[in-house]
């Protein structure tokens, strides 16, 4: 007898991870590959975090913790909101999570019923869509192009019908674009007036190249703020994030977290305690991302790929390649085969127009970006000649 496989579990792959496997396979076969496909810093956690981890291993049992995280880390996160944004947050409102990925599951389950309609930007981070659909929610894609600065706004939302939720990210993945504080305030008001639960993904805060990002928490407490130690704090594999839960959801988020995860990883929590004092080291990484961004932007523009979303933050360039291909997944495979550069096809981020775009991550070492830039400047003019490159 055939056993049943659930339809809700059949979410699309995260193509960036599939590209990583293809790139790893080439490397295993002895080829050099420059990894511009996966969004993670090329650096380890800050020195003080590594030292705290070593001390914790020597001195601590590393057992389960409170489901919402250890008190000193929640206090350190609350102090960060005061210092960074001038916003008062009670440590009791903070739940430490297993990466922001776990925070999304908790937030979506606590805030929405199956069938609820949640809006998000296209292009946008694919896991929002895929987690929502695994939980039986309807995703409402808001097309956000150049005119909208690649971000949702009240005019675009007004055309989307009745909504129960909205997810925003500033800086965003894959575009790096930001929502100005006044526009974020307007979005918060829009959501509040219509009973739409706002979820603000602030994972790329700290990695900004102009004005710093403002937290949605500054504009009201009904929304859910999600953040992570993965990106600015350079701690992807430690699987640690946090959320600020509004009072009406706090208990349900705590109970869900107890049942789903028991607790976030204890070693990572103890290690993260000094991370907010590591700004000098971490800002050094941001300075490198800026140099990488500028070099890659100049290289692509010189090769005729000038339509690039304004990368005001994060560590990605989202680049239109429609002049070179109708299918950026095929294009990415060719780029990997011919010049050993792995990038992510836009389809991952945008089911509507993603075939015309791709994403480069420039979070890696500057030598890699310089090498990628020289390979691209030689290859792009060649590959652009003649009819659009297909298979």
Ligand X SMILES: Cc1ncc(COP(=O)(O)O)c(C=O)c1O
Tell me phi and psi for residue 318, to 5 degrees: -105, 115
> Counting contacts by CB under 6 A, is residue 126 touching ligand X?
no
User: Judged by CB, which is closer to ligand X: 39, or 265?
Assistant: 39
Q: How far is the CB of 241 from ligand X (least distance, A)?
A: 4
Straight-line distance from the first to the last Cα atom of the chain, in angstroms, rounded to the nearest whole number: 41
C-alpha–C-alpha distance, residues 133 and 218, integer Å: 30
Q: How far is the CB of 167 from ligand X (least distance, A)?
A: 9
Spatial separation of the C-alpha atoms in residues 176 and 363, rounded to whole Å:
12
Angstrom distance (rounded) from CA 29 to CA 24: 9
Q: CB under 6 A: which stretch of 29-37, 88-96, 206-214, 228-236 binds ligand X?
A: 228-236
Residue nearest to ligand X (CB): 99
User: Rule CB under 6 A: which of 168-227 touch ligand X?
Assistant: 169, 173, 201, 203
Distance CA 290, CA 315 (A): 8
- Give me the residue label for tokens 């603000």: 200
H helices present in 164-303, as ranges: 181-194, 247-261, 266-272, 279-302
Burial (CB < 10 A; 0-12, 13-18, 19+), residue 13, is: exposed
**Least distance (Å) between residue 263 CB and ligand X:** 16
Cβ 148 to ligand X shortest distance, Å? 18
Which parts of 262-281 interact with ligand X (CB under 6 A)?
none
Judged by CB under 6 A, the stretch of 20-28, 99-107, 109-117, 303-311 that binds ligand X is 99-107
Interface pattern 32-51 for ligand X (x via CB under 6 A): -------x------------
Residues in region 334-373 near ligand X by CB under 6 A: none
**Of the candidates 175, 215, 230, 263, which one interacts with ligand X according to CB under 6 A?**
230
Q: Is residue 174 reached through a cis peptide bond, with omega within 30 degrees of 0 on the bond before it?
A: yes
Minimum CB distance to ligand X, residue 380 (Å):
26
Decide whether 120 or 339 has the Cβ nearer to ligand X.
120
Closest CA to 77 of 199, 212, 189, 217: 217
Q: Per rule CB under 6 A, is residue 130 in the interface with ligand X?
A: no
Q: Give CA–CA dist 299/95, Å, rounded.
A: 42
**Residue span binding ligand X (CB under 6 A) among the ranges 50-58, 98-106, 286-294, 304-312:** 98-106
Q: How far is CA 338 from CA 264, 296, 342, in A?
A: 42, 19, 10
* 142, two tokens: 């808001």
Q: Is residue 100 a contact residue for ligand X (CB under 6 A)?
A: yes
Give residues with Cβ within 8 angstroms of 127, minimum separation 6. 14, 101, 104
Residue 184 or 203 having the CB closest to ligand X: 203
* Residues between 232 and 261 with contacts to ligand X, criterion CB under 6 A: 236, 241
Q: Which is nearer to ligand X, 93 or 201 (CB)?
A: 201
Q: How far is the CB of 82 from ligand X (least distance, A)?
A: 23
Q: Which of residues 151-170 bind ligand X (CB under 6 A)?
A: 169
**228 part of the interface to ligand X, by CB under 6 A:** yes
Q: How far apart are CA 329 and CA 320, in angstroms?
A: 13
In the sheet that 316-320 helps form, which strands lie side by side, from edge to edge?
316-320, 357-361, 344-345
Q: Which of the stretches 56-64, 80-88, 96-104, 264-272 binds ligand X when contact is defined by CB under 6 A?
A: 96-104
Q: Where do contacts with ligand X occur on this chain (CB under 6 A)?
A: 39, 99-101, 125, 169, 173, 201, 203, 228, 230, 236, 241
């Amino acid at each position: 007898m055939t056993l049943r496989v659930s339809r809700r579990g059949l979410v699309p792959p995260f193509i960036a991870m599939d590209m990583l496997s293809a790139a790893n396979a080439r490397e295993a076969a002895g080829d050099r590959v420059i990894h511009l496909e996966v969004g993670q810093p090329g650096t380890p956690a800050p020195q003080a975090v590594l030292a705290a981890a070593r001390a914790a291993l020597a001195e601590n049992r590393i057992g389960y913790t409170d489901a919402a995280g250890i008190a000193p880390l929640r206090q350190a996160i609350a102090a960060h909101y005061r210092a960074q944004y001038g916003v008062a947050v009670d440590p009791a409102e903070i739940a430490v999570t297993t990466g922001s990925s776990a925070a999304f599951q908790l937030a979506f389950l606590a805030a929405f019923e199956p069938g609820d309609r949640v809006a998000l930007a296209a292009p946008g981070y694919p896991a929002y869509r895929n987690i929502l659909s695994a939980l039986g929610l309807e995703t409402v894609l808001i097309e956000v192009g150049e005119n909208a600065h690649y971000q949702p706004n009240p005019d675009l939302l007004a055309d989307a019908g009745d909504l129960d939720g909205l997810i925003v990210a500033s800086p965003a993945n894959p575009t790096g674009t930001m929502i100005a504080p006044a526009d974020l305030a307007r979005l918060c008001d829009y959501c509040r007036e219509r009973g739409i639960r706002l979820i603000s993904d602030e994972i790329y805060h700290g990695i900004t190249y102009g004005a710093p990002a403002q937290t949605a928490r500054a504009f009201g407490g009904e929304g859910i703020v999600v953040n992570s130690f993965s990106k600015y704090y350079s701690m992807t594999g430690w699987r640690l994030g946090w959320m600020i839960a509004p009072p009406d959801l706090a208990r349900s988020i705590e109970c869900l977290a107890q049942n789903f995860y028991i607790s976030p990883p204890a070693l990572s929590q103890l290690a993260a305690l000094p991370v907010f004092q590591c700004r000098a080291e971490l800002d050094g990484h941001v300075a490198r991302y800026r140099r990488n961004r500028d070099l890659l932007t100049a290289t692509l523009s010189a090769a005729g790929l000038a339509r690039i979303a304004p990368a005001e933050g994060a560590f990605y360039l989202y680049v239109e390649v429609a002049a070179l291909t109708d299918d950026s997944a095929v294009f990415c495979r060719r780029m990997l085969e011919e010049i050993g550069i792995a990038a992510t096809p836009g389809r991952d981020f945008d089911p509507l127009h993603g075939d015309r775009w791709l994403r480069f991550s420039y979070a890696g070492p500057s030598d890699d970006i310089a090498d990628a830039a020289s390979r691209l400047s030689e290859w792009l003019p060649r590959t652009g000649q003649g009819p659009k490159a297909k298979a």
